[in-house]
Amino acid sequence: MQNTSPTMMAQSESDRLRARVVWLYHVENYTQNDIAGQLGINRVMVVRLLAEARRRNEVRVSISSPLADMVALERQIETLFGIRRVIVAPFSDVNGDPTKVIAAAAGTLISGIMASGMVVGVGWGRTLYNTLPFIAGATLEDFRVVSLLGGISAARRFNPAEFAWQFAELFKGEGFLVPAPAVVDSPETKHALLERCGLAAIFDMADKLDVALLSVGGISALTTSYRAGYLSEADRRSLIDAGAVGDVLYNFIDKDGKVIDHEVNSRVISVSIDRLRRTPERVLISGGAEKLAALRASIKTINPTTFVTDEQTAGALLTAADA
């Protein structure tokens, strides 16, 4: 009878657990919390096992052979908005949520543009978080990831800090997080955090970014910012009354892409839009009917070099331009 060493057995058990977590998450579409409950482990372990599987290239989703009509849409959006590169993910459900298809297309793009020596700034939100399973990780040298805004303590999976950390893990890079809330109680608190607590030094890294990965938030009650409870309904209504159509990193903007004069903007702990504009590669990853006005405005103000969206959103942007 052949003996099995404790090391070999531990490795085998670890591999089986990781494989089971990957299967439940990517094939059976269970949530991380559900998987943790089924397997008797905590959610942090589930996150780590999924990240490990991506690092080992055990999970990879790729998109190839773009459809001719998608290419036509891409060219129209590029011409209309003056964007260097547009990627439109096929999506036929007019009333559906395009988050997953946008994330899949963005994940393939991101996998191809990350390189050693880069400083990458990252935003937050459901769409960016959902890119993680579609990114092929790699070991990159001198690779740094900078979170571009403070944390959202109630947002759980969609917390900027957690996305930045997991993204850095994929490429075995260093992560630089902002140890402060995304929205504080007063401009005075913001000033104190930036000037006296060292946060300004982290945001100064935004001047050295090679790539910024960004999404936009709408102003409806369904968007992540409001579901997380970080902005009140009174704040949301007040922002709408002031002309806000959405936000980029909690910088609330009007339909022309200008940062509105509102007290919420004076309490936000995030990188300014002026700084974002100086980043050589600005990748905007977003879509959905509730974000159309925010997308048009953000394209005007960020002037993205790459825009990743879905078929329905792209079509709606063209229709609105013709109206």
User: Domain residues of the chain, as ranges?
Assistant: 6-55, 68-322
Provide the phi-psi class of 65: left if phi over 0, else alpha when psi is between -120 and 50, else beta. left
The pLDDT value recorded for residue 161 is: 77
Kindly tell me if the per-residue pLDDT of 123 is higher than 90: yes
Kindly tell me if the per-residue pLDDT of 78 is higher than 60: yes
117 close to 143: Cβ distance less than 8 angstroms: yes
Query: In angstroms, rounded to a whole number, what is the distance separating the alpha carbons of residues 312 and 323?
Result: 16
**179-203: per-residue pLDDT in tens?**
888 888 888 998 888 887 778 888 8
Beta pairing partners, 88:
309
Q: Which two tokens stand for residue 170?
A: 């994929």
Global pTM value: 0.77
**6-55 and 68-322 agree in CATH topology:** no
Nearest to 250 by CA among 155, 103, 152, 153: 152
Task: Choose the weakest-confidence range: 37-41, 79-83, 194-198, 229-233.
Answer: 229-233
Strand order in the sheet with 281-285: 85-89, 306-310, 281-285, 211-214, 119-122, 144-147, 174-176
CATH 3.40.50.1360 for domain 68-322, yes or no, is yes
CATH of domain 6-55: 1.10.10.10
**238-291: per-residue pLDDT in tens?**
999 999 999 999 999 999 999 999 999 999 999 999 999 999 999 999 999 999
**201-219: per-residue pLDDT in tens?**
888 898 999 999 999 999 8
